[in-house]
Amino acid sequence: MAAGRHSRLSEWFNRRGWSDIIISAPYIWLLLFFLLPFLIVIVIAMSVATRTPSAPPFGYGGDNPVLNFAGYARFFEDELYLRALVTSIINAFVAMILCLLIGYPMALGLTRMQSNWRNILLMLIILPFWTSFLLRVYAWMGMMGKSSWFNRLLTDIWNMVTPEGWAVSSIPMMHSNFAVVLVMVYTYLPFMILPLYANLERLDPTLDEAAMDLGTRPFGVFWDVTLPQSIPGIIAGGLLVFIPASGELVIPTLVGDAGSPMIGRVISDEFSSSRDWPMASSIAVALLLLMVVPTMIYSHFQTKAEHKPENRP
């Protein structure tokens, strides 16, 4: 019955001319400003790079071959691109794991708080969201610099606990993959905490009590009861970190190692510095293909979660 319940309603909505406007305005907009540029990327990826100073630097059709896979071929031949892809995956993956390790106990801790405290802390987690992303990255640039108080503090600690021969004048943090991962964890941690919290908050606390009542110790309760139920939250949070992190441009540009760049930076450099549109487009398509897999996992779990009746509020 539920399937057709509102069919009549939508039938009338559909019959009217005004509903065409409601559908077609955003539809046409997205076709024009989202799909069309995307198709252009795919087409240009198969064109030939040209060096005409005024016109767009690619040739397509005419004397050029219609399908040109030189861009893709170079992607697999030139080690730089594959290495950049691997670096991106590793950085994003490590950032995701670290976010999970820090974010899970934080989310679990939040659910154990009294509700007035909980609201304040949640607000404090969301607050950095509303400040500038760029400035959050910048804040760490200030912390990691060689002469900053934070670096000197870490250096002093290092020199204190390690043998004398290992002493350093400062810790080289900036312009490394370490810095990239650190800043990614910093900026994306809320993406991990919020879905996890939403998931953990919904769990029935009497299940914990039941497990304890049956003789399980607290850590066992976590392992047997809490963790298995929070897997949807872990997957959601993990992908919400992994997907944007793997295509990141700002963080690797500001704090990353120019010697082993991430894929986003490579695309941007190919496009802006080398003005090689076909190459940049080929890498872009490759990056998108890489993202299809986690996205499909995500939407698979989303639909599964939506169809589970007990998840409805």
Partner 1 sequence: MRRRPIFLISVLCFGFAFFYIPILSMIVYSFNGSRLATVWGGFSTKWYVSLFSNRQVGAALLLSLKIALISATMATILGTMAGIALARFRRFKGRLFFSGMVTAPLIMPDVITGISSLMLFILMAEWIGWPATRGFTTITLAHITFSMVYVTTIVQSRLISAERDIEEAAMDLGSKPWQVLWDITLPVIFPAILSGWLLAFTISLDEVVITSFTTGPGNTTLPLLIWSKVKLGVTPDINALATIIVLVVGIGVVIAGWLMNRAEKQRDRDARLAYRANE
Partner 2 sequence: MQDPFVRIEGVSKLFGAFQAVRDVNLTVGKGEIFALLGGSGCGKTTLLRMLAGFEEPSAGRIFLDGQDMTGVPPWERPVHMMFQSYALFPHMSVEKNVAYGLKHERMTKAEREERVRAMLDLVQLTQFAHRKPHQISGGQRQRVALARALARQPKLLLLDEPLAALDKKLREQTQFELMSIQERTGVTFIVVTHDQEEAMTLADRIAVMDKGQVRQSGTPTDIYEYPNSRFVAGFIGSITSFDGRVTAVEGEVSRVDVPGLGTEIVARSVAGAASGQAVTVALRPEKVTLTRDRLEGPNAIAGEIKDIAYFGKDSLYRVTLPSGQLIAVHGVNAKRAEAGRPDWHDKVWLSFDPAAAILLTE
- Residues in 163-222 at the binding interface with partner 2, rule: CB under 8 A: none
- Selection from partner 2, partner 1, none that 134 binds (CB < 5 to 8 A by kind) is partner 1
CA separation for the pair 103, 147 (Å, rounded)? 30
CA separation for the pair 134, 23 (Å, rounded)? 36
Which residue number, 12 or 130, has a Cβ lying nearer to partner 2?
Answer: 12
Per-residue contact flags (x/-) with partner 1 for residues 12 to 41, judged by CB under 8 A: xxx-x-xx-xxx-xxx-xxx-xxxxxx-xx
* 313 in contact with partner 2 (CB under 8 A): no
- Selection from partner 1, partner 2, none that 1 binds (CB < 5 to 8 A by kind) is partner 2
* 124 in contact with partner 1 (CB under 8 A): yes
Output the smallest distance, CB 10 to partner 1, in A: 4
Per-residue contact flags (x/-) with partner 2 for residues 12 to 41, judged by CB under 8 A: x-----------------------------
| Residue 98 CB neighbours (<10 A) | 18
Angle CA 259–295–102, to nearest 5: 65
Q: Which of 119, 99, 123 is nearest to 111 (CA)?
A: 119
Among 4, 53, 165, 205, binds partner 2 (CB under 8 A): 4
Among 52, 115, 147, 273, binds partner 1 (CB under 8 A): 147
Tell me how many residues contact partner 1 (CB under 8 A).
91
Q: What is the DSSP string of 204-261?
A: -HHHHHHHHHTT--HHHHIIIIIHHHTHHHHHHHHHHHHHHHHT--HHHHHHS-TTS-
User: Residue 113: enclosing H or E segment and its boundaries?
Assistant: none
- Selection from partner 2, partner 1, none that 277 binds (CB < 5 to 8 A by kind) is partner 1
Cβ contact 74:81 at 8 Å: yes
Considering only 154-162, 196-204, 228-236, 291-299, which stretch makes contact with partner 1 by CB under 8 A? Answer: 291-299
Considering only 5-13, 64-72, 75-83, 225-233, which stretch makes contact with partner 1 by CB under 8 A? Answer: 5-13
36 is written with which tokens? 């069309």
- Selection from partner 2, partner 1, none that 172 binds (CB < 5 to 8 A by kind) is none
60 is written with which tokens? 């397509």
- Selection from partner 2, partner 1, none that 289 binds (CB < 5 to 8 A by kind) is none
* 102 in contact with partner 1 (CB under 8 A): yes
Treating both helix axes as pointing N-terminal to C-terminal, what angle do 79-111 and 263-272 enclose, rounded to 10 degrees? 130
Burial of 159 (0-12, 13-18, 19+ CB in 10 A): middle
CA separation for the pair 173, 30 (Å, rounded)? 42
- Selection from partner 1, partner 2, none that 135 binds (CB < 5 to 8 A by kind) is partner 1
Output the smallest distance, CB 28 to partner 1, in A: 10
CA separation for the pair 245, 156 (Å, rounded)? 32
CA separation for the pair 276, 158 (Å, rounded)? 45
Which residues in this chain contact partner 2 in the complex, by CB under 8 A? 1, 3-4, 7-9, 12
